[in-house]
Structure 1
Amino acid sequence: MPPGITTLAADAPALSAANTGFMLICSALVMLMTPALAFFYGGMVRVKSTLNMLMMSFVSLGIVTILWVLYGFSLAFGTDAGSVIGWSQDYVGLSGIGVTQLWDGATIPVYVFAVFQLMFAVLTPALISGALADRVKFTAWALFITLWVTVVYFPVAHWVWGPGGRLAELGVIDFAGGTAVHINAGAAALGVILVIGRRIGFKKDPMRPHSLPLVMLGAALLWFGWFGFNAGSWLGNDDGVGAVMFVNTQVATGAAMLAWLGYEKLRHGSFTTLGAASGAVAGLVAITPAGGAVSPLGAIAVGAVAGVLCAMAVGLKYRLGYDDSLDVVGVHLVGGIIGSLLVGFFATGGVQSDAKGLFYGGGPDQLGKQAVGVLAVLAYSLLVSAALALLVDKTLGMRVDEDDEVAGIDQVEHAETAYDFSGAGGGAAPRTTASAPGTPAAPTNKKVDA
């Protein structure tokens, strides 16, 4: 994503109605990704945690939106301060921005850029929630989101995309969020689960997805929304770069899904729907940083590598003992690392920039820059996220009580259940007469009202 600052200079680009409309559509597509993620995660948990999983994503739409307007956009995309953070008073409350004021280097209004970036900020903490399924208090999660986007996401977004940001200045290529979104969220997830511990019954009780159709629906909607996420990140398509990213998004996702399924068949003997959905998401994650730098053939390679390595990585939690409930670490952290590093191998130098990877005669320079970006975001997010989780745990307490976790977090935290099975038999049950304790009730012959 090209960094920039606002400008009212006479030679500024003219507002493009086509690009503005395109970016508003892309913003709506990225917004759709958060409820899509809720469905994806919601289907992967047990019945008793379905609503909580949905709510952990949905609440981000409220919390992050307000914070973004108040100060988030200013911290992420305001005037640079030491290549670490931004700040512009005009961006506080989005109150000092002209309606037709353009984002520098682009042909869209600042308001459009701000709302597009808002949807990225909303999605990123929602990604973390999948690692914490079944065991986190909703109030604690809401407080954690508030702290995390303020202390972690907004600064990292500035490093990667903000004007004068440290990683942007270094030359790290991250087209749409491999570091700022996926490595950031995956590392945060790892940091939090190391603090809060495992679910009760981890590695002992079956914890299979309760609704694979819901998982597939969520994955399909994520795939659909991701075109806005990726293609929109060039802020228009006057030079065709956004079109290349659109094509590479589709190509890499298909390759990753097939690679994951192939690995799964060889390793476990079956092609599973969960594997297809997870493989598709792994490909989407991996191509996010790389899609503007590689060719479609390179996108196939990126997707295939991500599909296999992410499939292998999800099993590490059982070997190493960390409870990443829905494979956020295995898919988003590992996939983000793979996509970011493979830029250093497959960048052609002919799309978004002239940077070339090792396989195109560029030498190790770009690979080194990508590695620096990966390590910087991973280390910062992991350590600070763990510290924030510890802070919340010591104040509000992060986890629900053991009895409540076993009984089901939906009833405890939301006083609801995802499904009503009371009428599953097809009709009302007959009324019964009173019985002595411990004896079966005798049926009554009285008519039962419908």
Structure 2
Amino acid sequence: MVDTGNTAWILTSAALVLLMTPGLALFYGGMVRAKSVLNMMMMSFGALALISVLWVLYGYSVAFGNDVGGGLLGDPTEYLGLEGLFDTVTNGLPDMAFVGFQAVFAIITVALISGAIADRAKFGAWMVFAGVWATIVYFPVAHWVFAFDNEDLGVTGGWIANQLAAIDFAGGTAVHINAGAAGLALALVLGKRRGFGREAMRPHNLPLVMLGAGLLWFGWFGFNAGSALGANEAASLVWVNTLVATGAAILGWLLTEKIRDGHSTSLGGASGAVAGLVAITPSCSAVSPIGAIILGVVAGVLCALAVGLKYRFGYDDSLDVVGVHLVGGLWGTIAVGFLATDAAAAGVDGLFYGGGVDQLWRQVVGAVAVLVFSFVLTYVIGIVIQKTMGFRITEEDEVAGIDTVVHAESGYDLTSLSGGSGSALHQATTAKTVEGSH
């Protein structure tokens, strides 16, 4: 029998998470230069379109089919085209509601990677990469982390969720460490933008960045609280933890900026929000609200410092996917081993609550395994695409602007402000000239 209340919450949460991808498009779009805004946003929308289709065709089956590879892979043929799931119900929840909820996780994970290669990637190559990466990397890792054993149904799931028993409530490993490691690998494959480290590459539209961050924060309540798979006590705790950790991370980031640079910025506030959201994602069911505050403050400080690593080590992570998602995801995942309390929904104690290092080592192993797997496979995929169809645009096209070269469009039509014979500015200037001649 269908639990209509829980079903309504999951479908609503799925819609919230879906909104996060257009929110990410705005967030990333505002952070690049004006000549790249459309391409940046199209990479998110392209991922949304492609991964939606692949998820239905075989992605869900690879991620949540019965295990066929020692906890590494679900049966890719079990739910081809979602056959057999149209009217089935598991634990009061229609299987198709769960399919939809997990689909939007796959979409945004792929979209997150694009920020590391802003300004210089061919759109067609990005789409090929997105499909291959989702198939070879994300779908299997989702099986590792999100597919739990179900003895009643005779279902065997992934190794991180079951054999390792690491806690990752909503995707610190499968989403953020996964995307962050992939972003680092692709940044190395494509190389630096022209002028990196010498020219200012400031965000062209900070209001877009702030709007995108707000939509991400809004959608993230579905991302985290929806992962409780019900309208219940766990979802309520997760909701509060998501709110307070994010607020604390913003404060931590802004304070770091103030001490280091002498001022706090709107970009720092938006980035701090995302850092807090990333960090609380794996741990939101395991910590108390006070633990969430501690976790958030540390995330804000760590990520604010980490975004500068690209200049020290010489890799061009354009929009700080590594500094925010990889570092934030690592901290949030490992922090469970320190800050977890059995009073929370996950019911385990971390080191600071008398639980010793048992949960800590599990968290570290899970985080490192996903990091290495994602980095190595992404690097290989990126190299193959670069050597075959070419992944990076030419230097001339990069200078001209990827929007006009690749998409034959411009994010901002400025002809109405200058040079157009029918423009308001031209008409006003002409009127003044004529008036002055009389």
When the two structures are superposed, what TM-score results if normalisation uses the length of structure 2? 0.93
Q: Which SS does the other structure have where 1:86 is aligned?
A: coil
Q: Superposition pairs for residues 362-373 of structure 1, below 5 Å?
A: 362-373=355-366
Residue 54 of structure 1 corresponds to 41
Letter paired with 1:22: W
Q: Which residue of 1 aligns with 2:292?
A: 299
Write the mapping of 1:46-445 to structure 2, written as runs, cut at 5 A: 46-81=33-68, 82-87=70-75, 89-99=77-87, 101-103=88-90, 106-163=91-148, 164-169=157-162, 170-238=164-232, 240-425=233-418, 427=424, 429=426
In 2, the alpha carbon distance for the partners of 1:198 and 1:172 equals 36
Post-superposition offset of 1:350: 2.3
Whole-angstrom distance in 2 between the partners of 1:132 and 1:149: 17
Find the aligned partners of 2:269 and 2:66 in 1 and give their Cα distance: 43
Aligned counterparts of 1:274 and 1:428: Cα–Cα separation in 2: 32
Matching residue's letter, 1:15: V
SS at match of 1:304: helix
Q: Quick one: which amino acid aligns to residue 361 of structure 2?
A: G
Report the count of equivalent residues. 419
For 2:56, give the aligned amino acid: V
Cα distance, 1:90 vs. partner?
4.4
Cα deviation code 1:191-243 (max 9, x no counterpart): 111111000000011100000000000000000000000000010033x0011
**Residue type of the partner of 1:199?**
R
Aligned residue for 1:437?
none
Conserved? CA contact 1:187–1:381, under 8 Å: yes
Secondary structure of the residue that 1:421 maps to in structure 2? coil
Residue pair 2:66, 2:78 contacting (<8 A) in 1 also: no
* Aligned equivalents of 1:349, 1:340: Cα separation in 2: 16
Give the Å deviation of 1:88: 5.8
Distance 1:407 1:130 in 2: 20
Shift of 1:395: 1.0
In structure 1, how many angstroms separate the alpha carbons of the residues matched to 2:259 and 2:109?
Answer: 33
Deviation at 1:162, TM superposition (A): 1.2
Q: Secondary structure at the match of 1:85?
A: coil
Contact 1:176 1:288 in 2 (8 A): yes
Runs of 4+ in 1 over 3 A off after TM superposition: none
Does structure 2 conserve the Cα–Cα contact (< 8 Å) formed by 1:48 and 1:417? yes
SS at match of 1:80: coil
Deviation at 1:351, TM superposition (A): 2.4
How far apart are residue 35 of structure 1 and its match? 0.3
Deviations 1:383-431 (A, max 9, x none): 000000001101110000110001100001100000010011552648x
Aligned-residue sequence identity (percent) comes to: 59
Which residue identity is paired with 1:92? L
1:83 deviates by 0.5
Q: 1:88 and 1:143 mapped to 2: Cα distance?
A: 20
2:28 aligns with 41
Q: Which runs of no fewer than 5 residues in structure 2 stay unpaired?
A: 149-156, 428-432
Are the aligned partners of 1:282 and 1:335 in contact in 2 as well (CA < 8 Å)?
A: yes
Select the structure that is richer in helix.
2
Cα deviation 1:341-384 (Å, max 9, x = unaligned): 00001110122333210011100010000000010000000000
How far apart, in 2, do the equivalents of 1:403 and 1:98 lie?
A: 50
Whole-Å Cα distance in 2 between the matches of residues 95 and 354 of structure 1? 36
Q: Which runs of 5+ in 1 are unaligned?
A: 1-13, 431-444
1:184 maps to amino acid:
N
Contact 2:62-2:73 within 8 A present in 1 as well = yes
1:10 equivalent in structure 2: none
Give the superposed CA RMSD. 1.8
TM-score (norm 1): 0.91
Amino acid at match of 1:78: G
Give how far 1:43 is off: 0.2
Q: Say which SS state the counterpart of residue 383 (structure 1) adopts.
A: helix
What amino acid is the match of 1:290? S
- Whole-Å Cα distance in 2 between the matches of residues 318 and 184 of structure 1? 22
- Structure 2 CA distance for aligned equivalents of residues 326 and 390 of structure 1: 21
CA displacement at 1:98 relative to structure 2: 3.9
Residue 362 of structure 1: SS of its match in structure 2?
coil
**Alpha carbons 1:230, 1:288 under 8 Å: kept:** yes
Q: Given that residues 253 and 269 in structure 2 are in contact (C-alpha distance below 8 angstroms), is that contact kept between their aligned partners in structure 1? A: yes
C-alpha contact 1:89 1:96 (8 A) present in aligned 2: no
1:23 match = 10
